[in-house]
Amino acid sequence: MLLSPSTIPPGILIDKHIKQLNEATNMITPFIDHTVRQRDGVSCVSYGLTGVGYDIRLGNNFKVCTRQEAINPKDLKESDYDHYDASVSNNKITIFPNWFVLGASYETVNIPDDILVDVLQKSTLARCGIHVWVTSINPGQEGSIVFEIKNDSKTPFILDTMEGIAHFRFHKLSEVPEDSYRKAGTYRNQQGVVIPTFGG
């Protein structure tokens, strides 16, 4: 069992507590202890530690479902997806209108058993019509975080990887839940982009 330091109070965590938590648990790897707004002298979608959370980065690996017929999610297989590595195209991926792609975080996580993480949209991307869905990250979850990304605009959108994609907000719980994701979560310790899984 991995627990947060007792000196961190329950509730939504601010920057100094997030930093203290990461120093004690390696909750996010790699961890950047400040907000980055430029990369190589060029403005970027911000990432790193913020006043009330952490902006996580988008990695280079993606999967796009290419099946044409009606889909029962329980029947999806790896062969139904095209795999795309953005590192071969200067860390960029073009997402066409109404496309839905799966991507994974650049960082990996090891969430303590008394911490719950809400995942929120980045305002800059939302204003461009790029919507990112992720369910809450459960106490005890490990590995990569998979993002569901859709272009709801009317034009193709070039998305830079290795920049911010979503905002994490950390909640310290009043106590450790009896049901641990670390023991039986469907996507525990996932690595890279993992397609829908049932019965795990």
For residue 94, what are the β-bridge partners? 158
CA-closest candidate to residue 145, choices 111, 190, 95 = 190
- Does the model's pTM come out above 0.75? yes
Q: Give the percent of the chain with pLDDT over 90.
A: 76
Tokens describing residue 184: 């039986």
Q: Give the percent of the chain with pLDDT over 70.
A: 99
Residue corresponding to tokens 């009606």: 70
Q: What is the pLDDT of residue 120?
A: 95
185 versus 157: the higher-pLDDT residue is 157
Active site residues: 148
Cα–Cα distance for residue pair 190/108, rounded to 1 Å: 9
pLDDT in tens, 25-83: 999 999 999 999 998 899 999 999 999 999 999 999 999 988 888 888 888 889 999 99
Query: Given a cut of 80, is residue 15 above it in pLDDT?
Result: yes
> What would the mean pLDDT of 100-113 be, rounded to a whole number?
96
Cα–Cα distance for residue pair 68/103, rounded to 1 Å: 21
Q: Is domain 11-184 given the CATH code 1.20.1070.10 in the classification?
A: no
